[in-house]
Amino acid sequence: MEFNEFFVLGMKLLGAGMAMLGAIGAGVGVGIAASGGVQAMGRNPDAAPIIQTNMILGMAFAEAVAIYALAVALIIIFAT
Residue 78: per-residue pLDDT: 92
What are the boundaries of each domain within the chain?
22-78
Per-residue pLDDT tens digits for 14-61: 999 999 998 888 889 899 989 999 999 999 999 999 999 999 998 898
- The yes-or-no verdict on residue 1 having pLDDT over 80 is no
Residue 46: per-residue pLDDT: 93
**What is the second-level CATH architecture of the domain 22-78?**
Up-down Bundle (1.20)
Burial class (CB in 10 A: 0-12, 13-18, 19+), 69: buried
Over residues 3-11, mean pLDDT: 90
